[in-house]
């Protein structure tokens, strides 16, 4: 199989591309800068450039789509253009190119409306109720992708197009700038509070597990097409425990001070309003969505994911902390 991986210059996209290369697939990556994945062919371009997308799909039979605008804040039009418009353009071009399997890498935030998610599966993506522009447009793009599913090729010669959506939840690992290094930076400068008691149980996914889970979805696309799956380690931990593990692995003190969850949500809403008028150079320090994520439970039933994808995580949360400590020079406990 020749597989196109979009967004392979990112941490997770690069990990997926390496998994596929290591098992002998012909891998082409597509993003705006070099992926750095040894053994893969880079195709440079933007997801909203129709000609570049069509060129990248030449000879491809499988697609793993990770490229997206990922941010807690930003221009809604940019999220719409990349996450929804770009996905639609890629789907159109993939069908024309004869691609048979398409994995839409989504997010559990597409089904999160602010309340706790406790032991649930992959509930329907809901753009109308998703929190924030990233979640809203990822929900819309997942709905768009799954609507294109036709399943595998039929015996009467009908051309197949098997689409499956996977939602890795809070992916982390060495070199992660989205979560790990922001946690370490904010903890080191005393800007990382616990919301409430930090007792909310949440699932996360170690990087290697997310990558192999996505590869498994590609393998199983003809059998599980038209469905969505949440991928996690299946080891819920409290927010306080997770933050402490990351901080110790990075050699900084875990957060000690607390902010009431309700106050954090109100502050997050105010920061969002300010950022929409006068955005800062980096991510906002708090948003309503982030406050909800840090103060409500969100852990998922993994039985269908593991059974249907024929996959299990290989790296535990504690082993992940040990690998972080080896990378950053801290301690695992």
Summary mean pLDDT of the chain: 89
pLDDT number for residue 192: 80
pLDDT at 132: 83
The pTM score is 0.92
- Of 21-25, 230-234, 243-247, 268-272, which range is least confident? 268-272
Domain annotation for the chain: domains and CATH numbers: 2-169+206-233+300-314 (3.40.50.720)
Residue whose token pair is 């799909």: 57
Which tokens belong to 17? 């591309």
Q: What is the pLDDT of residue 137?
A: 95
Mean pLDDT check: name the lowest of 49-58, 59-68, 254-263: 254-263
Range with top average pLDDT, 54-58, 111-115, 199-203: 54-58
Following CA atoms 192, 195, 198, 203 in sequence, which dihedral angle do they give, to the nearest 10 degrees? -90
What pLDDT sits at residue 117?
Answer: 83
Q: What b-and-e string marks burial along 156-168, b requiring 16 or more CB atoms within 10 Å of the CB? A: eeeebbbbbbbbb
In this prediction, residue 330 carries a pLDDT of 83
CA angle 103, 178, 271 (to 5 degrees): 115
Per the CB < 8 A criterion, the answer to whether 231 and 212 are in contact is: no
pLDDT of residue 155: 65
Burial label, 255 (beta-carbon count in 10 A; 0-12, 13-18, 19+) = buried
End-to-end CA, the chain: 42
| Helical axes 317-328 vs 239-249, angle rounded to 10° | 30
Residue 328 annotated in active site: no
pLDDT score recorded for residue 272: 58
Q: Among 65-69, 89-93, 137-141, 189-193, which is the least confidently predicted range?
A: 189-193
- Has residue 180 got a pLDDT over 70? yes
96-110, 175-189, 208-222, 279-293: least confidently modelled range:
279-293
Given a contact cutoff of 8 angstroms between Cβ atoms, the answer to whether 3 and 64 are in contact is: yes
| Nearest to 196, CA basis, from 283, 110, 72, 296 | 296
Tokens for 157, please give them.
Answer: 């010669």
């Amino acid at each position: 199989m020749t597989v196109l991986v979009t967004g392979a210059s990112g941490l997770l996209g690069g990990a997926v591309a390496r998994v596929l290369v290591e098992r002998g697939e012909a891998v082409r990556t597509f993003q705006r800068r070099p992926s750095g994945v040894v053994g893969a062919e880079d195709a440079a371009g933007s997801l909203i450039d129709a000609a570049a997308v069509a060129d990248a799909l030449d000879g491809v039979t499988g697609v793993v789509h990770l490229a997206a605008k990922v941010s807690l804040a930003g221009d809604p039009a940019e999220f719409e253009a990349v996450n929804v418009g770009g996905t639609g353009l890629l789907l159109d071009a993939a069908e024309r190119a004869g691609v048979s399997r398409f994995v839409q890498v989504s997010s559990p935030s597409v089904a999160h409306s602010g309340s706790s998610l406790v032991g649930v599966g992959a509930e329907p993506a809901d753009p109308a109720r998703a929190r924030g522009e990233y979640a809203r447009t990822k929900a819309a793009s997942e709905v768009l992708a799954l609507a294109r599913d036709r399943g595998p090729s039929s015996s009467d010669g009908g051309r197949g197009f098997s689409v499956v959506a996977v939602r890795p939840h809070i992916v982390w690992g060495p070199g992660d700038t989205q979560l790990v290094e922001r946690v370490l930076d904010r903890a080191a400068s005393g800007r990382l509070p616990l919301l409430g008691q930090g007792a909310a149980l949440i699932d996360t996914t170690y990087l290697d597990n997310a990558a192999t889970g996505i590869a498994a979805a590609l393998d199983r696309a003809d059998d599980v097409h038209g469905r969505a799956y949440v991928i996690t380690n299946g080891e819920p931990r409290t927010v306080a425990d997770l933050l402490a593990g990351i901080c110790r692995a990075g050699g900084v003190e875990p957060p000690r001070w607390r902010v009431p969850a309700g106050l954090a949500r109100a502050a997050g809403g105010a920061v969002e309003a300010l950022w929409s008028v006068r955005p800062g150079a980096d991510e906002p320090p708090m948003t309503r969505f982030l406050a909800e994520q840090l103060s409500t439970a969100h852990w998922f039933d993994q039985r269908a994911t593991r059974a249907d994808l024929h996959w299990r995580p290989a790296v535990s949360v504690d082993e992940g902390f040990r690998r972080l400590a080896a990378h950053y020079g801290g301690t695992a406990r």
